[in-house]
Amino acid sequence: MSEQPLKVILTRKLPDEVEQRLSDLFEVTSYNDDKPMPQPALAEAVQSCDVLACTLGDRIDEDLLSLAGPRLKLIANFGAGVDHIDVQAAEARGITVTNTPSVLAEDAADMAMALIMAVPRRLVEGVEALRDGRFTGWSPTWMLGHRVRGKKLGIIGLGRVGQAVARRARAFGLSVHYHNRNRINTHIENELEATYWDSLDQMLSRVDIVSVNCPQTPATYHLLSRRRLELLHKDAYIVNISRGDIIDEEALADMIADKRLAGAGLDVFSKEPAVNAQLMKAPNVVLLPHMASATVESRIDMGDRMLINIKMFADGHKPPDRIIPEML
C-alpha cells in the first residue's frame, strides 16, 4: 500500500471515540450526520477514497460500485450484516468487503431474550395499562400471560448470536431446538443441549417460540413465508432481531390480527423505518426501533473491529473479517 495515509470516508457519524482512533491512523472524512449518506454523496465518496466505511443504511449496489474510482479497494462495514452491499459486484471489481462480527452477539442475544420474556408475559401491555390508569389493583384473572419455562424454543440460525440466545434460554428453562444451514459441531450441540432439525417445517410445527437469528441473504428472504408461519400453532410467538425481510411481514400481521399466532417481538422491519400499521396496533406485539446491538460498549467494539480490518488492509494483509461471497 502507499506510504501516504489511507483516505477513509465515513458515511455516517460514529461515536467520537471511534472517529478519533480512526483519525489517529488515517485521513478521515466523516459525513457527520446520524442519517444515511445520500446516494449522490455516496457516488462522490466511492470515486475519491481508498476505504469506504459504511453502515446499514447505505445502499452499496452494483450501480454505485460501477462509479468507483481506482483508489477504492476496501468497503469496511460498521456492522455484522452485509445485505445492503453487493459483495459479488465488489469482488468482481477487486474491492474487499469486511464486517464486524462477534462483537454484537452478546448484546443482541440479551435483546432477543428480553423479547422472548416480554411478549408471553405481556410486559409492554402492563406498562401501558399503568400509564393509562387501567390498573385498579391485583386480580387473579387480569393481565394473564404464559409461562416461559418448559416451552420449546426454535432458533433459526445457530451462529454466534443464536448460540448466545440458546445459552440464555437454557437458564430460563426453555428446551432448545434449532435449524441451521449446516449442523453445528457436536460438542457445541451437546453443551447447549440443542436438538437439530434438518427440516425447518418440522421444527416450526413443534415449537412454542421462534427466534430468528440468521443473516439476510437471497436464500433467507421470506424464509418464514405465509405457508411456514401457518405451520406454527396458534399459541406460538415469534421474535426477530435479525432482518425484517426474513419474515413475510404482511402474513405475520394478518395471522396475529386473526389470532392465529399469539404474538411477536420485533426489533427489525421489512421497510424500515416504516412499520406495518397492523403490527403497530396489535396489543400482543412488542416493537423496538432496531436497537438489539445499541449499547455504548457494542458500538465502541464495532469501531475497534472495523479499525483492525482497515489497519490490516493498510499493512498489506488480509483483513480478518473479509466477506467471501461464496459463504453468503
Neighbouring CB atoms inside 10 A of 280's CB total: 11
Contact indicator for 306, 298 with CB cutoff of 8 Å: no
pLDDT at position 3 is: 66
C-alpha separations of 261 from 132, 172, 213, 221, 258 in Å: 26, 22, 20, 21, 8
Same domain, 122 and 253: yes
Same domain, 130 and 264: yes
Residue 290: active-site member: yes
Catalytic residue selected from 19, 27, 91, 272: 272
Element (H, E) at 196: strand 194-196
Contact indicator for 28, 50 with CB cutoff of 8 Å: no
Residue 243: active-site member: yes
Same domain, 19 and 42: yes
Q: Does 2 map to a domain?
A: no
Same domain, 213 and 109: yes
- Cell reading at 135: 390498573
The CATH number assigned to the domain holding 67 equals: 3.40.50.720
This prediction has a pTM of: 0.92
Mean pLDDT by 10 residues, the chain (328 residues): 81 95 95 89 96 95 97 96 95 97 95 98 97 96 97 97 98 98 96 98 98 94 98 98 98 98 98 96 97 96 97 96 85
Same domain, 162 and 24: no
Q: In whole angstroms, what is the distance from residue 12 CA to residue 255 CA? A: 37
Same domain, 144 and 79: no
Catalytic residue selected from 12, 243, 299, 305: 243
pLDDT at position 1 is: 46
Residue 122: active-site member: no
Q: Does 1 map to a domain?
A: no
Number of domains in the chain: 2
Query: 156: exposed, middle or buried (C-beta count within 10 Å: 0-12, 13-18, 19+)?
Result: buried
Contact indicator for 105, 82 with CB cutoff of 8 Å: no
Catalytic residue selected from 71, 167, 222, 290: 290
Same domain, 117 and 88: no
Same domain, 110 and 246: yes
Contact indicator for 213, 206 with CB cutoff of 8 Å: no
Same domain, 139 and 26: no
Element (H, E) at 109: helix 105-118
Q: Does 127 map to a domain?
A: yes
C-alpha separations of 150 from 7, 43, 145, 161, 207 in Å: 54, 53, 14, 22, 11
